[in-house]
C-alpha cells in the first residue's frame, strides 16, 4: 500500500463529545431465541413504540436482539416469561456502551497520526469520508474520479467514487452503496475498505483491469451524521416534510412493491416507507445514477448490518426469482472465500426467506425494475455484547475477510462481462 499523506479533518475530535446526545441510560438489550410457535408472540412487540428490534423475529431458533427502554422492561419480561421464550440479557446499560465508544473516539482523536490518510480503527464522520475520497482523486487521478450524484435533504454532497483503469466508459460496472440506514456504521467502513484496497493496494489492481467500480460509501449522510452528533440509534433519513415525525426508511422507499408488506405507513416508525415512493432525494439520486448507467451496471451490492447475511431478491415475497440458483451459487462462492480468510459464516438465501419480509427495498428495485440481474444485500456482522455495531477496534477483523467475498463478486463480473 502506498504511503499516505492526508491529515484528516479535526471535525470528529470536535464532535466526539456530542456523540449520541440522546441518552440511552437504563436501556437494555435482550437476546431472544424463539421457537416456531413463539415467533408470533415475539413479533407482537415489533410495532410497540420504543421497542427496537436489532434483528427480526423471522426464523425459529435464530437469535433476536431487542433494545428495551426502562419503562417497558418489566412488561416485556413478563411477556417473555409468560410465553416461555428463551432469552438472556445481552447489554445491561446501553448508555455505558456508547459512553465507552465516545471515550475511545476521543482518545483516538488525540493520538491520531497526522500522516495517516485513513484509519480502520475508528468510524469516520462524513466530512472525513469525503476528504478521503477527494484525496484519492488527487493522488490517483489516472484511475479515480470523485463526483456528487446529487445533494442530501440537508444539502450534503452524495459523494461517489469511480474507479477505472481505462476502457472509455465501456466496461461493466459494479455499483456499491452503503449507509442507507444511518446507525449501521460498519457498512460505510466496509465500503471504505473496499475503496482502499482497490485504489491503494497494488496487489488488488487486477480487480479493476476489466471492470469499473462505482461506490457510494454513505447514501444517507444526514442520518449518518445525526448518529454521531445527536442520536446514535437513528436509522432513517432526516427529511421533515411530515410534521409528526422526521425521516423515512430509505430502504423501504423504492418503487417496486412499495409499501405493500414489511414496511409502515406510520411516519414515526423506523420502517416508514415515506409519503410516496422515491420521496427521498437520496433514493431518487441513486435511482437516477443507476438509470444513467443501466447498460453497464452488471452487479449491485448494498451494504448493511446487522448480520451476517448474503441476501438476494425478493424481499416482498417468499417466491424466488427465476435465476435464484445463479444468485445462490455466487453467494456461496463469496461466503466460502471470506470463510477461508477467517470470517464468520454468512447465512445465504432470499431476503424474505432468510431475514424478513420487506417491500420497497433497493435490491428488489434494482433487479425488478432496473433489470440488473445480480443484486445482493450484504448484512455485515453486528456488535454482539458491544452494542449495535462492532467496536472500532474490530473493524479490520471484519472488513478484511469480507473483502475476499467482494473479490469473488468482482472476479465473476470480470470473467463474464469484462472488457
The count of domains in the chain is 2
Residue at 197 is within a domain: yes
pLDDT the model gives residue 106: 66
Residues 329, 364 within the same domain: yes
Residue at 98 is within a domain: no
Among residues 92, 108, 141, the one where a domain terminates is 92
Residues 57, 180 within the same domain: no
Interval 104-114: pLDDT, tens: 666 655 445 54
Residues 85, 137 within the same domain: no
Residue at 99 is within a domain: no
Tens of pLDDT, residue by residue, the chain (419 residues): 333 333 333 344 334 444 446 788 899 999 899 999 988 888 888 778 888 888 766 677 778 889 999 999 999 999 999 999 999 998 898 888 888 777 766 665 544 554 457 889 899 999 999 999 999 999 999 999 999 999 999 999 999 999 999 988 999 999 999 999 999 999 999 999 999 999 999 888 889 999 999 999 999 999 999 999 999 989 999 999 777 899 999 999 999 999 998 899 999 988 999 999 999 999 999 999 999 999 999 999 999 998 789 999 999 999 999 999 999 999 999 999 999 999 999 999 998 888 888 999 999 999 999 999 999 999 998 776 666 778 888 999 999 999 999 999 999 999 999 87
Which residue bears the cell 420497497? Answer: 360
Helix (H) or strand (E) holding 28: strand 28-33
pLDDT the model gives residue 53: 85
Query: Which residues on neighbouring strands pair with residue 376, listed in sequence order?
Result: 301
Residues 404, 307 within the same domain: yes
d(CA 110, CA 350): 44
Among residues 54, 77, 92, the one where a domain terminates is 92
Closest residue by Cα to residue 318 from 349, 360, 344, 285: 349
Residue at 103 is within a domain: no
Question: Any idea what the CATH number is for the domain that residue 157 is in?
Answer: 3.40.630.10
pLDDT the model gives residue 1: 31
Closest residue by Cα to residue 177 from 266, 290, 40, 309: 290
Residues 313, 355 within the same domain: yes
Domain hosting residue 34, numbered range: 28-92
pLDDT the model gives residue 362: 97
pLDDT the model gives residue 99: 82
pLDDT the model gives residue 157: 97
Residues 293, 352 within the same domain: yes
Q: What secondary structure does DSSP assign to 178-227, as a single string?
A: E-SSTT-THHHHHHHHHHHHHHH-GGGGGGGSS-EEEEES-S-HHHHHHH
Name the pTM for this structure: 0.88
Among residues 54, 74, 92, the one where a domain terminates is 92
Residue at 55 is within a domain: yes
Peptide bond into 15 cis (omega under 30): no
Chain-centre distance for alpha carbon 406 = 15
Question: Any idea what the CATH number is for the domain that residue 50 is in?
Answer: 3.30.70.340
Closest residue by Cα to residue 237 from 256, 254, 253: 253
The x, y and z cell numbers of residue 9, run together, are: 479533518
The x, y and z cell numbers of residue 109, run together, are: 482523536
Residues 170, 66 within the same domain: no
Query: Choosing from 231, 280, 282, 379, which is the catalytic residue?
Result: 379
Q: Burial letters for 138-171: b for 16+ Cβ neighbours within 10 Å, e otherwise?
A: eeeeebbebeebbebbeebbbbbbbbbeebeeeb
Residues 150, 32 within the same domain: no
Q: What does DSSP assign to residue 261?
A: S
Residues 35, 140 within the same domain: no
Residue at 20 is within a domain: no
d(CA 256, CA 360): 5
Residues 144, 68 within the same domain: no
Residues 344, 267 within the same domain: yes
State yes or no: is 336 an active-site residue. Answer: no
pLDDT the model gives residue 289: 98
pLDDT the model gives residue 46: 78
Residue at 11 is within a domain: no
SS3 content of the chain, % helix, strand, coil (to 5): 40, 20, 45
Residues 316, 399 within the same domain: yes
Residue at 410 is within a domain: yes
Amino acid at each position: 500500500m502506498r504511503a499516505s499523506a492526508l491529515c484528516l479533518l479535526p471535525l470528529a475530535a470536535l464532535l466526539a463529545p456530542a456523540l449520541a446526545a440522546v441518552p440511552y441510560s437504563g436501556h437494555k438489550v435482550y437476546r431472544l431465541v424463539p421457537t416456531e410457535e413463539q415467533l408470533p408472540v415475539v413479533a407482537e412487540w415489533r410495532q410497540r413504540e420504543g421497542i427496537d428490534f436489532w434483528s427480526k423475529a423471522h426464523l425459529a431458533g435464530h437469535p433476536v436482539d431487542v433494545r428495551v427502554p426502562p419503562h417497558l422492561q418489566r412488561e416485556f419480561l413478563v411477556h417473555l416469561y409468560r410465553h416461555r421464550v428463551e432469552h438472556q440479557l445481552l447489554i445491561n446499560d446501553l448508555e455505558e456502551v456508547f459512553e465507552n465508544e465516545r471515550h475511545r473516539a476521543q482518545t483516538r482523536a488525540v493520538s491520531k497520526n497526522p500522516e495517516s490518510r485513513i484509519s480502520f480503527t475508528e468510524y469516520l464522520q462524513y466530512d472525513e469520508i469525503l476528504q478521503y475520497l477527494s484525496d484519492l482523486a488527487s493522488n490517483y487521478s489516472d484511475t479515480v474520479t470523485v463526483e456528487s450524484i446529487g445533494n442530501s435533504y440537508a444539502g450534503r454532497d452524495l459523494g461517489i467514487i469511480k474507479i477505472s483503469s481505462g476502457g472509455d466508459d465501456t466496461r461493466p460496472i459494479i455499483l456499491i452503496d452503503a449507509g442507507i440506514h444511518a446507525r449501521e456504521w460498519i457498512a460505510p467502513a466496509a465500503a471504505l475498505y473496499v475503496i482502499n484496497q482497490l485504489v491503494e493496494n497494488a496487489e488488488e489492481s487486477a480487480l479493476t483491469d476489466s471492470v469499473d467500480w462505482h461506490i457510494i460509501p454513505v447514501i444517507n449522510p444526514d442520518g449518518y451524521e445525526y448518529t454521531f452528533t445527536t442520536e446514535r440509534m437513528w436509522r432513517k433519513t432526516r427529511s421533515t416534510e411530515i410534521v409528526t415525525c422526521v425521516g423515512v426508511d430509505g430502504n423501504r422507499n423504492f418503487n417496486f412493491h412499495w409499501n405493500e408488506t414489511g414496511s409502515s405507513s406510520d411516519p414515526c416508525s423506523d420502517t416508514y416507507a415515506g409519503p410516496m415512493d422515491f420521496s427521498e432525494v437520496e433514493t431518487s439520486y441513486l435511482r437516477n445514477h443507476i438509470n444513467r448507467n443501466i447498460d453497464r451496471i452488471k452487479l449491485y451490492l448494498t451494504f448493511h448490518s446487522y448480520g451476517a447475511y448474503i441476501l438476494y431478491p425478493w424481499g416482498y415475497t417468499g417466491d424466488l426469482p427465476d435465476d435464484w440458483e445463479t444468485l445462490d451459487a455466487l453467494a456461496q462462492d463469496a461466503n466460502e472465500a471470506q470463510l477461508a480468510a477467517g470470517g464468520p459464516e454468512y447465512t445465504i438465501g432470499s431476503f424474505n426467506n432468510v431475514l424478513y419480509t420487506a417491500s420497497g427495498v433497493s435490491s428488489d428495485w434494482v433487479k425488478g425494475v432496473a433489470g440488473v440481474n445480480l443484486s445482493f444485500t450484504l448484512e455485515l456482522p453486528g456488535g454482539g455484547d458491544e452494542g449495535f455495531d462492532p467496536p472500532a477496534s474490530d473493524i479490520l477483523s471484519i472488513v478484511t475477510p469480507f473483502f475476499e467475498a467482494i473479490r469473488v463478486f468482482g472476479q465473476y463480473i470480470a470473467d463474464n462481462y469484462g472488457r
